[in-house]
Amino acid sequence: MNPMQLPSEPEILTTTVGSYPPISWLLASPSEQALIDATSAVIHTQKRAGIDLPTDGELYRFDPNHAETNGMIDYFVSRMGGIRTEIGRSDNAAFRAKSETGFRRKPAGVVEDEISEGTLDLPNACLRSASVADGPLKFTLTSPFMLARMLLDNHYNDVEALTMAIAECLARQVPDLSSVCVQVDEANVPGSPEYAPIAQAGINRILDAIEVESAVHLCFGNYGGQTVQSGEWKALIEFLNGLRADHLVLELAHRPDSDLDALREVGDHVAIGVGVIDIKVNHVETADEVAARIENAIKAFGPGRVRWVHPDCGFWMLHRSVADRKISALVAGRDRFLGS
């Protein structure tokens, strides 16, 4: 297969959402070569299980000093220009005063000037992963709205202006990514649907710059198996329908049936990716359980709408042995459903 070509069959493809559990030997002895080796191991673990479109485990964000955070926020804000990451007492107090950020006690950074790319170099990070992928690869990045919400803004003093400034910075980098799919991750707006227009505008700015398959992953957060954001898919239908993505990557295995019913209103202009593996529990699904979840989704969306199946979110908080078995269960369940 052409390494820069998206798989075209079977009719329902498997992928992972992004992150992979910490690699013990990489933590013990971090180096550039060890990072490349670990990235190869993560990608080829997925490929051996039969995953059609693997990710690099988001190891491109690896930081041995903060391995537990998966770099979803800090990797980006620590490299962008205009953001100070040395945080003091008054910064923390000002951030806590923002009522909408009650789930986080201190900012990831303080915006003091116009956002610029600084030292952020996503194309080079992606190239490192692609060099050991030996086939199609999906690359992930964090939504500009989610990044904006984690910052103390002393420059723009406006969440929309900050979101769009971050979006512009990221959009300038995505055309040069050496992957067949680029996925934007948003785990904040599901709990704050009142900000949906702002989040949608920022994400669409990036989607419009992507020259390969584009995806948007949305979930309600995960920390230690706990849902971080409260809310329901019903409140996000207009937001989803306004995203200019090729497909959506949706948390559904850990959600109530009413959410699946609400998502029937998503238009057929976008393909659907269904979460059929629950990453908030250690239980490893059987092939029959996964196949049943796929069947329920197809009953809700109709024939031809469900193009992708995947875990609800990333695997970074699970043990590797559990994550690997869940990856295998995902493929086995898809194959069971398709009768292959």
Q: What is the mean pLDDT of residues 321-335?
A: 98
Residue 112, domain member (yes or no): yes
Residue 2's pLDDT is what? 46
Domain that holds residue 319: 13-338
Residue 163, domain member (yes or no): yes
Q: What is the mean pLDDT of residues 190-201?
A: 94
Residue 5, domain member (yes or no): no
Work out the pLDDT band at 19, boundaries 50, 70, 90: very high
Q: How many CB atoms neighbour CB 90 within 10 A?
A: 10
Residue 4, domain member (yes or no): no
Q: What is the mean pLDDT of residues 26-30?
A: 93
Report the interhelical angle of 196-207 vs 159-171 (nearest 10°): 10
Q: What is the mean pLDDT of residues 74-94?
A: 95
Residue 321: closest CA among 50, 26, 24: 24
Half-sphere exposure of 305 (CA within 13 A, CB side): 21
Residue 106: closest CA among 79, 155, 157, 69: 69
Contact 337, 294 (CB under 8 A): yes
Q: What is the pLDDT of residues 243-290, one digit of tens each?
A: 999 999 999 998 888 888 889 999 999 999 999 999 999 999 999 999
Q: What is the pLDDT of residues 166-184, one digit of tens each?
A: 999 999 999 999 999 999 9
Provide the number of structural domains found in the chain: 1
Q: What is the amino acid identity at position 182?
A: V
CA-based angle 198:200:204, to the nearest 5? 125
Residue 292's pLDDT is what? 97
- Give the least confident one: 68-82, 190-204, 319-333: 68-82
DSSP 55: B
Work out the pLDDT band at 337, boundaries 50, 70, 90: very high
Q: What is the mean pLDDT of residues 207-236?
A: 82
Residue 11's pLDDT is what? 96
Phi and psi at residue 82, to the nearest 5°: 90, -5
Work out the pLDDT band at 96, boundaries 50, 70, 90: confident
Does residue 225 surpass a pLDDT of 60? no
Residue 147's pLDDT is what? 97
Residue 279: closest CA among 332, 243, 326, 217: 326
Contact 275, 251 (CB under 8 A): yes
Residue 104, domain member (yes or no): yes
Does residue 226 surpass a pLDDT of 60? no
Q: Which residue has the higher pLDDT, 3 or 75?
A: 75
Rounded-to-integer distance, Cα 62 and Cα 27, Å = 9
Q: Which residue has the higher pLDDT, 102 or 55?
A: 55
Average pLDDT, the chain: 92
Residue 68's pLDDT is what? 61
Residue 211, domain member (yes or no): yes
Residue 99's pLDDT is what? 59
Residue 86, domain member (yes or no): yes
**pTM for this one?**
0.94
Report the CATH number at residue 87. 3.20.20.210
Retrieve residue 264's tokens. Answer: 């029937």
Q: For 103, left (φ over 0), alpha (ψ -120 to 50), or beta?
A: alpha
* 273 contacts: CB under 8 Å, gap ≥ 6: 15, 215, 217, 247, 248, 249, 250, 306, 307, 308, 309, 310
* 20 contacts: CB under 8 Å, gap ≥ 6: 42, 45, 55, 57, 58, 59, 314, 315, 316, 320, 323
Residue 6, domain member (yes or no): no
**pLDDT > 90 in the chain, percent:** 81
